[in-house]
A and B are shown apart, each in its own frame.
Chain A
Amino acid sequence: MAELHIIGQIVGASGFPHKSLFCKWGLQTGCAWKLLSGLREGQTQVDNPVIQDMAYWSHPIDVHYATKGLQGWPKLYMQVWHQDSFGRNELCGYGFCHIPSSPGTHDIQCVTWRPLGTWQEQLSQMFVGGGPQLKHSDLIYTGADRYRLQTMAMGKVHLQLSIILRNFDQYGVEY
């Protein structure tokens, strides 16, 4: 019974057109995975960097999984949101990354995108904020037909994850 312990943090985000960002994150696993402890989703605070462009959240992640199979290796998906000067929240990017499968500390950069929407939507987004969002947010990490979506590249989310694996070698998994 292999165990996976993810300890780390969502360091921050860079390269976004806006400042004042926050992030909602979650972990998605297959059905063979069992959450032993920790929170599998959360939300960071809003960071509005004064100097430089990178927003720092340093949001801790500490999740302990047990698994009986390799399928559905955990993915970390996130939504970056922007809080504008009126306190309104609008979507700024979707992204996901796989949890690294080798033990040790990993610095991960997760690129994000957001749906583009029609030109009318883009226009209204420019003037009144808001923006197109996915109706089904699981599309962030499921690959189905995503290529048809017209999207726009956004910034990167920086993650620092330390992975502890246990007992995987007992089941013939090498890393």
Chain B
Amino acid sequence: MASTENLREKIKSKRKALQASLGGSRQVDDNRASVAVEIENGARNENARKVEEIQNEDEQVENLKRTMKAQRQRRKKMLIDDIDDVHSEESIQEVNIITHQQRTLPPLPVPTPRTSFAEYSMREKMREKLKAARSKAQSAIQQEEASAPPQHLTPFKDQTSVIQFDTEVDEEDMKTAGVDELPHPSSKVRFHEIANKIKQKSKDGFPSAEEAYNFFTFNFDPEPEEAEEKSKKQKRVGAPKKIDHEEESEGDWDEEESTIRTEAEEEEEGEEEDQPLVKDNMDNEDDYLFIIDQTARDFLVIRAPDYESYYSRQQKDKKVLFTPSILTVATSEKIPEDMQPRFLEDEGIYVGERPKVSKSNQNILEHRLLKNKEGKKWFGSDGRIIALPNPIKQTYTRPPIFSLHEKVDPAIETFYKKAEKSIDDNRYIAGSMELQGRFQLDIDISGIVFTHHPMFSREHVLAAKLVQLYDQYLCRQQHNLAGLYSDKLCALRNAVKSITDYHHVHISVTQRRLVEYKSEIRTTRRMCHMEQEKDWTLLKNLVKVWKDVKSLREFQKFTNTPVKLCLRRQQINRKADEINYEREIQTEVAELLEDYQEEYENKLAEYKKKYEEWKAWRKAKKAKKKKKKSSDEQETDDTEESSMFEEFPKPDPPEQVDVSLVEQQVRTTAARIRRKPGEPVLTPELSMTATVTPTNQCPRGEQLRRQDVQRSTLYAKIIFNNKEVSRTSSQTLSADFRIHFGQIFNVQIINWPESIKIQIFETMGMSSTKTEVFIPIPETTVLTGSALIDEIEFSNAHRITFDHEGVGSGVPFSFEADGSNQMILLTSGKLACSVSWAVREDGVPLIPPVLHENVGVQRSLKHVDAILSIGTSGLTDMKKLARWAAESRLDPNDPSNACLMQLIMSATSGEALDHDYFRLEQLQEEFNFVSDEVFNKSKRFRLLQLRNEEVAEFHNFKQVPILDREISEKIFQEYEKKCHEKDTVDITSHLDPHRALVARFLQKVRDSVKNRFLLAKHHYILSDMVVEEAVPSISSGDSRMLGISLFKLAEPRRPLRPRRKERKKVTAQNLSDGDIKLLVNIIRAYDVPIRKSIGGKPALTSRSARSINETFSTSQIPQSPTQSHEWFTNQTSVRPFVEVSFQRTVRQTSTAEGQNPNWNEELEIPFRAPNGDYSTASLQSVSDDVFINVFDEVVYDVLEDDRERGSDVHTRVERHWLGAVQVPFSTIYSQSRIDGTFRINTPPVLLGYSKERNLSSERGWEAVRSLSEGSYLSLFITVEPHLVPGEAVNEKMIEMLRKLETQEDEKLLQKAEKFQKEVKQKFPNRRCVTLVTDLTGKLVFITRFIKALSPPQELLDAFPQDYEATTELVARYVSLMPFLPDSISFAGICDLWCTSDQFLNLLAGDEEEHAVLLCNYFLAMGKKAWLVIGTAIPEGPTAYVLTYEQNQYVIWNSTTGQYYGQFDAFCPLQSVSCLVSADNVWFNVQKYETVMRVHFDTSKPNLWKPFFSRNFPFPGLSSVQPEELVYRRTDKAAAVELQDKIEKILKEKIMEWRPRHPTRWNRYCTATLRQFLPKLEFSRGGEVGDDHSAELQNQLGDYRISGFPINMSFSELSPIIEAVHSTGVHNTMIPQVEFALAVYVHPYPNNVLSVWIYVASLVRSR
């Protein structure tokens, strides 16, 4: 028994563990299952059961154990008979145990992860049956159970409770069990087999699909007899509590199941079990073996599908279904039995018409209703279904809409719009959605009044003057400012008086107010005097002019004008007036005196203070003197000197004001500005009542004039956006030179109004004159009806003279007989007109939505109203206005301010103001996620928005961070700063304040131009969107091409003569970093400077510098044996190599040798666009330069020990900069390739090198060239892949511009276009420039830029004798103007031409500006000069200057100041296409365009096609250049300051570039160099090098110096730094190297600065 006890314990623990492990998962499954299962009942009991279960848990366990034991024993017996029963496995076992615990939940019908539903329910059933069996055992009715040991039966109570519990579950189980009911659980064998199968499979977890299918479809054959038998048995047994009969019927095989279970448990306990269990295991094994033999086929029976005959089905259906018949129901059935149907209609009661329902449907419904309980209530007393009357009305209730235009809500109004073509104008007002009809401007031209007209007679002139004065008088009279001020003065005086009268106590407030009042009085008095004076002089002038008129009329004996001035005298009481006058003077005097007194007192106080000081000082001085005397005599001088120095002036006491003097003053002013006392008041009155002398009584001249006047007619054209839209009727000029048109023009517009212009045409016989008046575009608030007629003045500069009395225009004439006092009057007048926005009939103004382009439109309305002058749209900050009003002390009583005051009052009262609007989105605030501040503060949003707006700083900003905190505040700082301080000058970044200003100005111009073109840029044309490769066709003009290519096929291959092939162009959009490379092919160089017996000299100098005075150039001293290690470096004259640096990437060629090295190497340099933006505009604005530097590689032997020479090589390589070529990337980009020979910019002095050709004798042709020509480098530069230059954009821009605005004559424009087209056809490659864009974006004819302008006098005076030197100096001056390509400053826009004064102000420009300026200078110097338009290397399309001097043509490069003869082979100008002079443009129609082969004789029309010819003569275009250029003297001190700054910065930079080495500065050398630089400037880089280097070598004998001066024009600091960096001086790694750097800034007039930088490195020789 001990073993069994032990066992029991074990089982217990095991079970618990299993419960714990599986409980969770099971529970979930069971829960799910419950839904499906709960069909019958039992669910209600569950809660109760749960509680019970918990209580019984332990007991159950106990019970289970006991029953198990009992069953085990039982089984032992049975084992022999039904060996098949022995099975089950762990999983089932576990599940059983668990279900035991969780019986509260119904069994699982769905397949679970562990077991299928069927399996589970089966198990469940088995379990139930086990229980039943148990109870049977306990009741001891069954004989089989008789052998059960008594102790197992003892806890009877517990057993029953468990059973009770189980049975309840069984009730739930009914359904699942019921499923199996029909195919009743069949043969045990089969079941077990299947169960075994499942067990087998479930070892891996799940039954396979096939098995599951088999399981479900398997037809367990019922065993009816047995079941019956068993049920009988069951009935006999009489289960203690409610057990369903189904359950009972199953009871019999439940017993078997129980055995299965127990066996399973035994299996589980297998290891511990004793002998019989081992046997069990054996049995199990047998089972396994047995199972293996089984297949699913063995369990299957193939059957025909069940067929139920239609009839039987019908019968079945009949039982469950009800099919209402469609036959009519008898009325009797529908009404209560004992009633007769009653027909209300027949009884005369109104019954509505029933809705129409088909009879059969109605019958069906009736049948159905009758079938129901209480179905009769649906029927009315007439036996029909109760129904409401038909709801459908026969008539329309919705009122028809008769007229669309009377009642339609304006909101949903539609209008008929004709189909029309869209207008392809990019300045179309409407956005995509704003096609809401037209906008309309009403232009009211009421008339013209001439204030001067050529046909004015002298009298008219005077009369006009008189009228003008009278108008002025009236205006003043109306304002009556003098009266206002004198009133104010009175009031103020009274106020002062009252204060002084009533407030004797001096309270600070009143005191202050008094002071305030007094100052007010002072200013008012001054104003009053001023106004009075004006009034008085006006009156006097009026009288004088009238007198003139009268005398003129007398003189000429006829009257021309009806003007008549009456002076009305108003007598006044002389005495009273006098008293008044006197009193006023007295008050004034008193006030003045008071002021003076005050002043005097102030002064006195000051004096006293000073006097005290002086006294003290004097005392001290005396004391000192005494002391001094006693002390040393020698020192006295010094002290006396110092005391003299400190001499304190004795203050003068202020003078008292003289009363009489003051009074005198007051009286004189009063006499000057006011009416004398007692004089009558004069009131002038102008009337038009004078009789004009009839024409026939006038002299001849006057008669002619009047006839002319009558003959002349006027009309006005209205030009809107440079297009004539309408014109007034023609009106004859009346005798009083007034014209009344009185016409209103309604201009319907669809374009943005850009300009409204009225041209007044005056025709007089044959001739006609044109005057233009620009009318401002009205504010959006100016509507028709409220608009005021505005008088706009105009004038005309035409010169008109007459041979009659008319005074003409622009001609001097005089009123005096002797012709003195001449005056010139120009035609002028006033146009009375008004422009306003029209208002539709319904009051909707026809104004385009936003008028944002009216910036810069000057308004003539300013004097109308204060508010208007500020502009209603601009009037946003009322507070500001109020503050301004308070500060400016607006007089609130002034009627002209009334409107403003009211506005301010309402604005300042603030909150009390009722708002005239309501919020549309009422609950917006309440539902906001965040407040506005937070919303607007978001840095991410801001960044995104700025990027979207294409703000320069953020354009193409990649990858905006997703979180705000990832965006640093710094990003915006610069932008904000820029926004903030648009006008303040930042001196830190720019060394020169003026440059900073220029930079800012350029930025502004750029912005404005950019904005202008932004619209055009976003306006795409087809070619922007669609790229179509032209199909080469044989028939068209391309046939030539095809022919050539065909010819090429037949061409012999010449591999030894490679040609550059045309590459395919790549559009810039789909490029990224690293795609673009710059290919630089360095071919060869000519005339590289050679070393001057290098190596030998320094060595020599080290020993003999002090003794030898001869210059180095002559010293040819052989190497000393000690320096023999340098012999090999000396064997070649120079070993140059080329280094190309671009965007700080450096590539270099190998080293070649000799003076004319040949490299022929290709260098590849990556190109990186700014911000990774490869758009055309961005590429155009790349301002990086390609620096091509030529260096000399010098090798020094640094071997210390001579003995090692045989074995070791120890050399140091030094590179010496020889010169550079600088090519801007923009040029490469626009040219796509650069091919040619360039002049190397060598410094004027290269220490240790000379340009002398030692080998010139070897080659004959080289000797031809002069020495000064310098060195040359052959290059080929291109961009790989071939980028499309942004030409298309530019062309479009120009197209745009042409449309936009120009002041040129229409004829000229047409001619220009024609001319250009003509020449383009003949010479497509030659550039013809006739119209250029000026800085304001207008088209200007090119000749207008050419005008003789004198260069600064300073330059002319520099070499009074030497004409050529002066010329060169001027050229140099021009070349010193900083160069800034337009394509950079106006990226993606177009070439803008500045006038020379603009250029001088901006101090930045490209070739055109330089050339124009130089050409203008040359013209002023009396030379024959032209502007040459052509192409050059490396600039590409450019402008040069051509002069004719001493029978030869000279070509000037204005940007470098170089000049070339016409037959100079190295002239950078490659082709000549246009010549421009001040009065004509010639186009090159010669066969050749190279400079050498071009004839420059413009008089031959077969060589040069002139623009202005006999057919189209030069119309005398006035120049856009100023009359004279004004030069400012450059501040020398500023230059010096700049010089120091640059030097300091450069030194810092050099140290920065040498981070790993100490940088020492040789001060002595620096000082020497500094002295030398001005000389260089003076000689303009001429040949002073030899002397200089000798001198330098003399002074710094111990050093080996290599260095050179660099000369640049100064624009900004960064190019200077870049230039110094590119020379690579700082790269010297020699230990002990010292540097010298000197900067010299030479100021030229107008702030043009020439910067010289001398950099040198010094190495101390041993």
Contacts and interface: CB of A to CB of B under 8 A. Distances in A.
B1266 interface: no
A25 interface: yes
Contacts of A38: 948
Given A36-B948, A131-B416, A171-B929, A41 B924 contact: no
A102 interface: no
B617 interface: no
Contacts of B927: 69-71
A136 B436 contact: yes
A84 B921 contact: no
B1209 interface: no
Contacts of A139: 411-412
Contact of B436 (A31, A86, A128, A135): A135
B948 A1 contact: no
Contact of A132 (B416, B421, B932, B948): B416
A41 B433 contact: yes
B432 A42 contact: yes
B935 interface: yes
Determine which residue in B409, B414, B415 has the highest number of CB atoms from chain A within 10 A of its CB, and name it: B414
Contact of A2 (B432, B921, B929, B931): B929
Given A26-B433, A36-B948, A66-B941, A129 B414 contact: no
A133 B414 contact: yes
Contacts of B434: 137
Contacts of A174: none
A124 B412 contact: no
Nearest to A67: B929
A100 interface: no
A79 to B, nearest CB: 7
> Closest 3 interchain pairs by CB?
A129-B419, A37-B948, A88-B419
Contacts of B413: 134-136
A72 interface: yes
B411 A130 contact: no
B923 A89 contact: no
B941 A1 contact: yes
B404 interface: yes
* Dominant secondary structure of chain A at its interface with chain B: mixed
A69 B409 contact: no
B928 interface: yes
A43 B944 CA distance: 24
B414 A135 contact: yes
Given A1-B930, A36-B948, A131-B419, 10 more contacts: A1-B941, A32-B921, A34-B935, A68-B935, A125-B416, A132-B415, A133-B435, A135-B415, A148-B408, A149-B412
Interface in B230-260: none
Given A66-B938, A72-B921, A171-B929, A128 B411 contact: no
Interface stretch (A8-16, A104-112, A114-122, A153-161): A114-122
A60 interface: no
Contact of A87 (B415, B421, B938): B421
Interface in B417-438: 417-422, 431-437
A42 B921 CA distance: 27
Contacts of A68: 928-932, 935
A130 B419 contact: yes
Interface of A: 1-2, 24-26, 30-32, 34-38, 41-43, 64, 66-72, 77, 79, 84, 86-91, 115, 117-118, 121, 124-125, 128-137, 139, 144-146, 148-150, 170-171
Given A36-B948, A87-B421, A134-B414, A148 B929 contact: no
B935 A132 contact: no
B421 A88 contact: yes
A113 to B, nearest CB: 12
B945 interface: yes
B1604 to A, nearest CB: 52
A66 to B, nearest CB: 5
A150 B404 CA distance: 10
B934 interface: yes
B188 interface: no
Determine which residue in B412, B417, B928 has the highest number of CB atoms from chain A within 10 A of its CB, and name it: B412
Contacts of A66: 935, 938, 941, 944
Contacts of B929: 1-2, 67-69, 170-171
19 contacts: A2-B929, A24-B433, A31-B921, A32-B928, A34-B945, A37-B944, A38-B948, A43-B432, A68-B929, A88-B419, A118-B404, A125-B416, A128-B418, A129-B418, A130-B417, A133-B416, A133-B417, A135-B413, A135-B414
Nearest to B945: A36
B525 interface: no
B8 interface: no
B432 A41 contact: yes
B947 interface: yes
B1529 to A, nearest CB: 52
A141 B432 CA distance: 16
B416 A79 contact: no
A136 B409 CA distance: 12
A128 B419 contact: yes
Determine which residue in B420, B432, B436, B948 has the highest number of CB atoms from chain A within 10 A of its CB, and name it: B432
A130 B930 CA distance: 47
A84 to B, nearest CB: 6
Interface in B1305-1355: none
Contacts of A148: 408-409, 412
Determine which residue in A38, A41, A66, A69 has the highest number of CB atoms from chain B within 10 A of its CB, and name it: A69
Contact of A88 (B420, B431, B435): B420
A34 B941 contact: yes
Contact of A71 (B404, B411, B416, B924): B924
Contact of A137 (B419, B422, B436, B935): B436
Contacts of A35: 945, 948
Contacts of A133: 414-417, 435
Contacts of A37: 944-945, 947-948
Contacts of B410: 135
Nearest to A125: B416
Contacts of A25: 432
Nearest to B947: A37
Contact of A136 (B411, B420, B431, B935): B411
Contacts of B419: 84, 86, 88-90, 128-131
Nearest to B413: A135
B1015 to A, nearest CB: 14
B418 A145 contact: no
Contacts of B947: 37
A133 B945 CA distance: 35
A160 B414 CA distance: 31
B416 A69 contact: no
Contacts of A43: 432
Interface in B915-943: 920-921, 923-924, 927-932, 934-935, 938, 941
Interface in B393-412: 401, 404, 408-412
Contacts of A91: 417
A25 B431 CA distance: 11
Contacts of A121: 416
Contacts of A36: 941, 944-945, 948
A75 to B, nearest CB: 13
Determine which residue in B929, B941, B944, B948 has the highest number of CB atoms from chain A within 10 A of its CB, and name it: B929
A25 B432 CA distance: 7
Interface string B426-452: 000001111111000000000000000
A147 to B, nearest CB: 9
Nearest to A132: B414
A124 B415 CA distance: 13
A46 to B, nearest CB: 10
A154 B935 CA distance: 41
B409 A30 contact: no
A42 B1020 CA distance: 13
Contacts of B422: 89
Nearest to B437: A135
A149 B412 CA distance: 7
A145 B431 contact: no
